[in-house]
Structure 1
């Protein structure tokens, strides 16, 4: 069984840092040309240089995918310049945690816009390209991997709206998997537990102290651990689909 992705194109959102950055590097290392999508152009350009120096192919596409037109344009640019899209990794996301009574409506709207609406915009735009890739002779299969969260499985205080967004991602993922099964476009959710990324640096005050204390009690996952999970999902033989992959720190209860 071959584990390389030679001849394929991967489209990775949130590629400027953390899980998206690590996933893009990993998929490029397996032979995929990678479209890197995020808002921070300087970081995307640096990642393109890193991938190219290692012998890979990458394209930086600065975009705010919470805007539907921008999301659609990013997909169109990737398909036009790289020739196809075989793998979509919906990784972009934000986690604004805190009590419902204390959080702002604006912070909820930001999570819904990025964690859910942007994922929908990109998936809808990429779907024709993925279906075409699945019908080609390259692999005969295409992949959508939605980066969800342990918070999409278990609800917790201070995570209410984040829980809502990730429970929604899991439901959408499974429904779409069933819709696309016959076309050999595989759809799966990857649900990490605690991962040490910039996502945790957004918070201040008591919430930040609580997160720091929690991370001090466990050995958190690293972004590369999740990238390895994505690579596992998209390198299965055509007959095998991973609908859900749950990766936790060993000592996270």
Structure 2
């Protein structure tokens, strides 16, 4: 049983790895023995993290990538294969959230959210899955959100494009899971509740009324802490979940049930 979460010899790609939950996941993968390819647009941040991880004895590469751009994704995946020769795990973590209703947001804002949150996963999977299929093995974990199944009423927190994009991630996860399980590839998604990150620090965490209401309503009485998402990520990325696919696991302190 102790070997179920062992990732020794595995290669993991993490998108949105320059900070927050993505960087935490990259460290967790390395701690379990995986070599990691760190993808994001800010290469300087990636290089800092790569040095930190390599100091622990694991291999890490920093690859600048815009997940919404097909050519950028193609080149990034090619670089990973050239360096490691394989991809065992793909964590699609890159994402963006913007405040606004369908009445108030611009088309440009809608397109940006959908491009990064949905098209980005499509493109990463499009170019990674063939390498997984060749070896009849792969673990794909898509970071969706609690906001795929719940929404905020307050005008200052309405995020219709985010709701739509994260629900789409859930649908895409199910479709790919049904198609690729026979190729040894599992595809699952995670719905984090409120965690402090670069994205939420300047938005949700700045609204005292929202935070007070959240902490009052949440069965946990608080947002998620640093590292509390890693266990679920590792479970879905390891052989511990070899017969698990198309699942959507909420990591939200019970918030979705109240």
TM-score normalised by length of structure 2: 0.88
Q: Distance in 2 between matches of 1:236 and 1:214?
A: 39
Q: Distance in 2 between matches of 1:214 and 1:127?
A: 40
Of 196, 216, 228, the match for 1:225: 228
State the SS of the aligned residue for 1:166: helix
Shift of 1:131: 1.6
State the SS of the aligned residue for 1:88: strand
What's 1:246 paired with?
A: 250
Deviations along 1:156-209, whole A, 9 cap, x unmatched?
441211111011110010111010111110000111111111111454xxx775
Distance 1:91 1:102, change over 3 A: same
Q: Distance in 2 between matches of 1:202 and 1:236?
A: 37
Contact 1:145 1:230 (8 Å CA) reproduced: yes
Q: Distance in 2 between matches of 1:163 and 1:213?
A: 21
Shift of 1:4: 1.0
What's 2:218 paired with?
A: none
2:144 matched to 1:148? yes
Q: Distance in 2 between matches of 1:208 and 1:104?
A: 24
Moved over 3 A (4+): 207-210, 236-239, 250-253
What's 1:159 paired with?
A: 159
Q: How does 1:104-183 map to 2 (within 5 A)?
A: 104-134=106-136, 141-157=137-153, 158-183=158-183
State the SS of the aligned residue for 1:4: coil
Contact 1:197 1:223 (8 Å CA) reproduced: no
Distance 1:198 1:213, change over 3 A: farther
Contact 2:139 2:238 (8 Å CA) reproduced: no
What's 1:80 paired with?
A: 82
What's 1:6 paired with?
A: 8
State the SS of the aligned residue for 1:7: coil
Flag structure 2 segments of 5+ consecutive residues without an equivalent.
216-221
Contact 1:197 1:222 (8 Å CA) reproduced: no
Contact 2:36 2:60 (8 Å CA) reproduced: yes
Q: Distance in 1 between matches of 2:112 and 2:29?
A: 28
- Give the aligned CA root-mean-square deviation in angstroms: 1.9
Contact 2:235 2:241 (8 Å CA) reproduced: no
Which of 239-248 and 88-97 deviates more?
239-248
TM-score normalised by length of structure 1: 0.89
Flag structure 1 segments of 5+ consecutive residues without an equivalent.
135-140
Deviations along 1:196-237, whole A, 9 cap, x unmatched?
11111454xxx7753x43234421113411122100112234
Distance 1:113 1:251, change over 3 A: closer
What's 2:34 paired with?
A: 32
